[in-house]
Structure 1
């Protein structure tokens, strides 16, 4: 939402083509987000969005944005069952001019957990913090029931699940005595409860991984695009304003036939145009990210999160996903989310490189090992490899080998690794592609900064 707000403010109300392009890109990357709207706070002004917006919903968004204290507001969608709206004012100040809304499909947010969750005896409910039910497939039983709020600052939704256990679930066909029936009943009841608890934990884990996937993807695509658009609009304002003023002055001097003064005005206009060109060149080469606090963490845990995130995707693609991690902790100093994002980008790129590749069984291998003063992890695949002509520009922003790719993943990964004091490189290989990330060990990094 921060990126969309930056794009909306940068357009200054003149055109919203870029806003709609970014909005459609978001809905394509995140199917659970199926509507984006930009509602002016001034009644009667034109609403910009990916779908037609009715007056009642627009007024609700406008009222929520006006009452906002800067935080995201969650509201049920008045026209679409099983949907809720995330509303934020734009810009996020008291001088806000728009209400920005994302519509979320609660059914797609939970996802398909398998045939177990479609059984008549199993119930799932997802509610807003104020208690409004977004999704409830059946009434929740009182016997075996679990509820827990999702650990998301912007979307603290309440997930509740339950299951009715009948006699057919607890009693198999038996023709034994009363003692055996009693023992069997106790055993089956306890086993059903344990299985239900395990499945509930699996549903909670799926929701956590979905939130983590959204955060990583947002950091690698939408956030970068919003930051670049906002910075470009800010820096281009001065030279463009100067060019406009000089052009107006030149037109007056031309009318007055003051050719001597006109030459100086044209020179200044050329200078400001070159300045604007330099700004665009700098953004094309990607601005350096700001430093963030770092700490020591176990790299195995970050790689384990990546494996959990991409395991189901690998199975659906019929790809062997292998992680070879040491038995003992491997400590490095850095931002765990950023290093996790780097590993996620590399593994996902390797999986996408194997799509449609004929030959031996597709395989992606992640290997973590420790050296004297550094930690190394390799991400290797047995795909077609990187074209020779592309290798010198592999880490340049907007360079990609995939149709529809942004070309920002490897460039962002390089900057995140360098921020942690490490290096990332493409290793020469005869089979597929291998990317190597080298990071300083926690003790070595702390001695350097001491």
Structure 2
């Protein structure tokens, strides 16, 4: 094979947005594309120094799969393989696709397809179902609880004028607690709002700058906020006020996670990821979600047992939290056709939102939006 052909092959493999490696007959990684270097957290030259066993957990099915391909000289696939390790990180669930190379005896090419994103999207569908359950509960609570609470509060106000100073504190407590319950019910009523969203092309950087200004002048005044924006990003098809609500909630959570940590830092980032597409349940359509918006903090992270249910209603890591903030965030993102995920370790937490983009309409905004994203 000529050098130009080899160079062309390398360019093609580097363009594939999945880790791809070639293992020789001695088990060494003799080629790794750019994504494989990121995946294994090592350069191609470092990967080639040691057998692949050094880079995956002991007894990994990957080694068995490579040996099977060599013995039978045929391609094989292995699905949902956990290759988590201290080197590769946690939650590294992958699908493996391995094939022999006829021209190089004993050599095997392996492509890794990470399952974490697909699994998180599946959980996103569950979050939406949970939010719909809260919708019915919110509608019932608004009708059945708020009216009696008004009567209780009114009675407490009347009692306040007729009791002594010692008992007046109790009447104030009754009013404060009824106000707190009404506030909680009001927040839950948001879930029962099924009106169509008024959406327009929105510059996400204007939204993030607005959220950053609120944070710096309030709850995050002592925390460093870093921007890592892609200035060429196209608009997102969304409701500006709801996006502000989403990112304000995420930034506030990040600030509360950092507390008074002197080295605390929040990073707001945007990027274009053209390879992300998800299937629409019940149809043959696939929606492209190329816009990636992240809120990252370098706090202590979310407890491992909470992470899978973090977006469920009434789940909170705060002592007095209602557990509705992130559930509402998931609902808003879902109604905009996007997904949200959380990656958290002991070194920090990243909330990542993937959303569709916007194109100038040719005959109706909604129709063109669907044409562009499917």
TM-score grouping bracket, smaller chain normalisation: 0.3 to 0.5
Larger radius of gyration: 1
The TM-score, its normalising length taken from structure 2, stands at 0.45
The TM-score, its normalising length taken from structure 1, stands at 0.38
Q: Which has the higher contact order (CA 8 A, sep 6+)?
A: 2
